[in-house]
Amino acid sequence: MARMYKSRKGKSGSTKPYVSEAPEWSNTDTAAVTQLVIDLGKEGHSTAMIGTILRDQHAVPNARLVLGKRIGAVLAENNIGGTYPEDMMNLMRQAVGIINHISSGNHKDLHNKRALEITEAKIRRLANYYISEGRLPSEWRYKRDELRLMVE
């Protein structure tokens, strides 16, 4: 598949091998893993960080194989998490960082101005998707002026 913002074709990446059940050596106690996910979510960790902690400290290489659903689904069932999806929030944080950089005396930095435009385009495309999925209200619009309020 071609890259979106480059005039190149891109590299094909490796894929994880198909595995339908957790390894024998892993922690397969569903209740314990669910409670760990809930506790880590309440501490404010992101889903990616929760997966890393489960892998490194609790012998759960893939939480989805143990739980039968994603970490984000477990957090959503227990009303843990922010008002915006995690990937969209990461893009908004990135946009705030670029805006801070440009406004702090680097107004001639054309590369980062372009990076800001690309990041904002990604946010708008993702917002259209989440609006169609019902995870964002239909009247939600991206506004650069209100971005800092949404991220904080």
Q: Given pLDDT bands bounded at 50, 70 and 90, which one contains residue 68? A: very high
Q: Given pLDDT bands bounded at 50, 70 and 90, which one contains residue 11? A: low
CB 91 within 8 A of CB 122: yes
Which residue has better confidence, 128 or 148? 128
Q: Given pLDDT bands bounded at 50, 70 and 90, which one contains residue 10? A: low
Res 1 pLDDT > 50: no
Res 16 pLDDT > 80: no
Res 2 pLDDT > 60: no
Res 28 pLDDT > 70: yes
Average pLDDT, stretch 123-139? 94
When the pLDDT of each residue in the chain is averaged and rounded to a whole number, the result is 89
Residue 83: predicted pLDDT: 83
Res 141 pLDDT > 50: yes
Number of helical H runs and strand E runs in the chain: 7, 0
Q: What DSSP line would sit under 58-106, residue for residue?
A: H--S-HHHHHSS-HHHHHHHTT-S-SS-HHHHHHHHHHHHHHHHHHTT-
Average pLDDT, stretch 20-37? 91
pTM, two decimals, is 0.78
Q: Given pLDDT bands bounded at 50, 70 and 90, which one contains residue 6? A: low
**Which among 85, 88, 146, 145 has a CA at the least distance from the CA of 119?**
88
